[in-house]
Amino acid sequence: MLGNYLIGLREGLEAALVVSILVAYLVKTERRHLLPRIWAGVALAVAVSLAFGALLTFGPRGLTFEAQELIGGSLSIVAVGFVTWMIFWMARAARGLSGELRGRIDEAAEGSRWSLVVVAVLAVGREGLETALFLWAATQAGTREAAGSAVPTWEPLLGAGLGILTAVALGYLIYRGAISINLSRFFTWTGAFLIVVAAGVLAYGVHDLQEARFLPGLDDLAFDVSATVDMNTWYGALLKGVFNFSPATTTLEAAAWLLYVVPVMALFLRGARRRTTTPAAPSRAAA
């Protein structure tokens, strides 16, 4: 639940920041009459994201077990790719996001009446689609097996919903000037955590592909701690809900987890360290 809360919080805060920048810029430039177009774009983006989530949830039903596992595993891996790109992109673009969006608003305001709607849809819809896909993958990874079929739990959706509500509240407070957040530090910490969460989703996607008989090694276990770790306890639920930990992990799952976490985390932390030290360089050169 904590992992899904942070997914909802991070993605929701990105969307909330985008909306607050768009609204604040139109208000400051005395173009309030264009605000309905922004809200129309936001509403359309939310509707498309919800429809996409419903398609992911109900679309594969009625297929064979192997087909469901193949689709689920493939989409889980795609979700990991999207969220990885999002983590690195937001870490780089956080500082210049405001200026980029203002430039788009100025261009759209001079175009057709649908131009601002499209700007809002693209800016918010990207976050919504990424959130829907990654939450679906994380929810699939956190399901329980009952009578041979996956029974989804309500905890992941509740956690994501609480995260999105928190993000909306924070976005409003930031817009009103009530609070300020060090966005670079926020996106660094949540990005590092989401890399670990994404690794669990990737491992689960590999397991799905193994169950679909698309990948080999389903019976080749790297470790099995089912007798030691009780997944019905609070710490078992925490390991499963946050890290998608499986007590019986195949060798291919473990390899995928390690081959993702180690290089991606190293690159992310290296980039974060570089961004924190870059502003000091001009002053030293000037001195």
DSSP 83-143: HHHHHHHHHHHTTTHHHHHHHHHHHHHTS-TTHHHHHHHHHHHHHHHHHHHHHHHHHHHTP
pLDDT digit string, tens, across residues 161-184: 888 888 888 888 877 776 666 767
pLDDT digit string, tens, across residues 20-50: 878 887 887 788 888 888 888 889 988 988 8
The token duo for 10 is: 């991070």
pTM above 0.85, yes or no: no
Q: Is the pLDDT of residue 254 over 80?
A: yes
The percent of residues in the chain predicted with pLDDT above 70, rounded, is 77
What pLDDT band is residue 287 in, cutting at 50, 70 and 90? very low
The token duo for 233 is: 């306890």
Q: Which one is predicted more confidently, 241 or 175?
A: 175
How confident is the prediction for the chain on average, in pLDDT? 77
Q: How much is the pLDDT for 262?
A: 95
Q: Is the pLDDT of residue 148 over 50?
A: no
What pLDDT band is residue 284 in, cutting at 50, 70 and 90? very low
Q: Measured between alpha carbons, how far is 137 from 159 in angstroms, rounded to an integer?
A: 14
Where does 212-250 have alpha helices with state H?
A: 234-243
What pLDDT band is residue 19 in, cutting at 50, 70 and 90? confident
Q: Is the pLDDT of residue 150 over 50?
A: no
Q: How much is the pLDDT for 258?
A: 94
Q: Measured between alpha carbons, how far is 14 from 154 in angstroms, rounded to an integer?
A: 24
pLDDT digit string, tens, across residues 88-119: 877 776 666 666 667 777 777 666 667 778 87
**Most confidently predicted of 136-140, 185-189, 259-263:** 259-263
Q: Which residue in the block uniquely carries the two structure tokens 């969006």?
A: 101
Output the CA–CA distances (angstroms, integers) from residue 37 to 115, 156, 231, 262, 272, in the order listed: 9, 33, 49, 44, 36
